[in-house]
Amino acid sequence: MDEAVTRLIGNVGFPIAAFLMLYRLVTGTLAENTRAVQELRAAVTELRAALVRAAGDKAPKDDG
């Protein structure tokens, strides 16, 4: 890995090599965060449904 980075910097220059490494890092982080948000959204949806069911069991009856 170190040899590949050194070769990349020597061939294309530091700014381009740094950009490519940061791009890879940001892309990976964005993908991880997207998966985490999707998991959280699913958990919130499940919890909301559970709370609605629990509140429906204990909600006072409306005499209208």
pLDDT in tens, 18-41: 898 999 999 999 999 999 999 999
Give the gyration radius of the chain's Cα atoms. 25
Residue 32 domain-assigned (yes or no): yes
Share of the chain above pLDDT 90, in %: 47
Total domains in the fold of the chain: 1
The single-letter DSSP state of residue 1 is -
Residue 62 or 33, more confident: 33
Judged against a pLDDT cut of 90, whether residue 58 lies above it is answered with: no
Residue 23 domain-assigned (yes or no): yes
Counting every residue written for the chain, the total comes to 64
Residue 48 domain-assigned (yes or no): yes
**Residue (of 7, 3, 8) closest to 24 by Cα position:** 8
Residue 28 domain-assigned (yes or no): yes
Residue 55 or 28, more confident: 28
Residue 30 domain-assigned (yes or no): yes
- Domain residues for 39? 19-56
Residue 38 domain-assigned (yes or no): yes
